[in-house]
Amino acid sequence: MNHDPETSVLSQPKSRRSFKPILSAWLVAGTLDITVASIYYPLAYGLKLTALYQGIASGVLGPSAFSGGMGTALLGLALHYLITLIWTCFFYFVFPFVRKVLRNPFVNAGLYGVFVSCAMTFVVLPLSNVPHSSQPLNILHFAIDTVILIFTIGTPVSTIIGKYYSHE
Query: How far is the C-alpha of 29 from the C-alpha of 151, rounded, in Å?
Result: 9
Q: Is residue 10 in a domain?
A: no
Number of domains observed in the structure of the chain = 1
**117 near 55, Cβ under 8 Å?**
no
DSSP assignment of 142-165: HHHHHHHHIIIIIHHHHHHHHHHH
Give SS3 for 48. Answer: coil
pLDDT tens readout for residues 3-62: 444 443 444 445 556 789 999 999 999 999 999 999 999 999 999 999 999 999 999 999
In a domain, 2, yes or no: no
Q: Is the pLDDT of residue 136 over 60?
A: yes
8 A C-beta contact, residue 38 and residue 80: no
Could you tell me the residue range of the domain that residue 106 belongs to? 16-166
Whether 1 maps to a domain, the answer reads no
Would you say residue 38 lies in a domain? yes
